[in-house]
Amino acid sequence: MSGPKDGPGVVVVQWSPDSLGLVDQLARTMAGAGVARITCVGEGIEARADARRGGVELRTLALEPGLGFDELVARLEHDVRVVEARAVIVLPRADASEPDSISRLACAAIRKACGDQTGPNVLVEIEDPEAAFEFVGLGVATVFYSGHLRAALLGQACVDLGVFQFIIGLLRGRHRVRTIDVPAELREATFAEAALELELDERGRPMTVIGVATANKELGEGGGVIANPGPTTPLRDVLGLLVLLSGDDPDPDLDPDLAGQEPSA
């Protein structure tokens, strides 16, 4: 049996060229997580030679239109080797009249293809939020849909006063994100040490370290920022720290009219 390094990596089922942006974003994200391959599976797609995106190998597997359930199981088991996948994303069929029903069959096929072995986490995008219950018992870890994150945040805010206050603070500008230089004494430290050490900014406002700014070219020209890069991430090569500032005082960096003024008591 092939080892994990030869496995399919992250598998995208019911993929089409319309979802190429998803693959690009996955490649940028997965490269930092040690995933070396993305396998795209779909009907009517062009079988291409293996390519690379952002340092991640991209494979495509074309399925014959109208495959029966058992045939789909066989392709997932033997050609995709889905049981070895790091994770599986099931997308809705854009050309289907009932895409959620087709996705449900795909999830059932994935489960059967894994046999008695523990399969990968399966994430399913659905069109109808009310269809989420139909995926119970199919080994699906997460069901999401358009507006899911926004709905989840607002739903949590309704039962958690702290979350509600934080969201309101973001909207009203009481919480802001900025980058700061890595203090000289922490240049040889780790991300976890910086998060524990840095609690206040230069004006005495509460501050939380949430990420790093990096020159990693895989994040695009000029690099970018990575939220929560991991506790052992060394700071010696990062460009700066990404921090969340809390407080009602305006930031001089954002409001030049306030530059040079003393913080309010």
The pLDDT of 6-15, averaged and rounded, is: 88
Report if residue 84 sits inside a domain: yes
Q: How many domains does the chain have?
A: 2
pLDDT digits (tens, 9 = 90+) for 144-182: 776 665 666 666 566 666 666 777 777 777 788 889 999
The per-residue pLDDT for 134 is 83
Please indicate, yes or no, whether residues 243 and 191 belong to a single structural domain of this protein: yes
Please indicate, yes or no, whether residues 26 and 126 belong to a single structural domain of this protein: yes
Rounded alpha-carbon distances, angstroms, from residue 251 to 178, 179, 226, 265? 10, 13, 23, 15
pLDDT digits (tens, 9 = 90+) for 78-116: 999 999 998 899 998 877 888 899 999 999 999 999 998
| Geometric angle at alpha carbon 253, from 251 and 255, rounded to 5° | 65
Please indicate, yes or no, whether residues 111 and 236 belong to a single structural domain of this protein: no
The per-residue pLDDT for 148 is 62
Most confident of 43-57, 129-143, 248-262: 129-143
Which of 265, 264, 228 is CA-nearest to residue 244? 228
Range of the domain at 205: 175-247
Residues whose CB falls within 8 Å of the CB of residue 251, separated by 6 or more in sequence, listed in order = 176, 178, 245, 258
Give the CATH number for residue 105.
3.40.50.720
Report if residue 188 sits inside a domain: yes
Which of 109, 143, 140 is CA-nearest to residue 125? 143
pLDDT digits (tens, 9 = 90+) for 18-59: 887 778 878 877 777 778 889 999 987 776 656 777 678 888
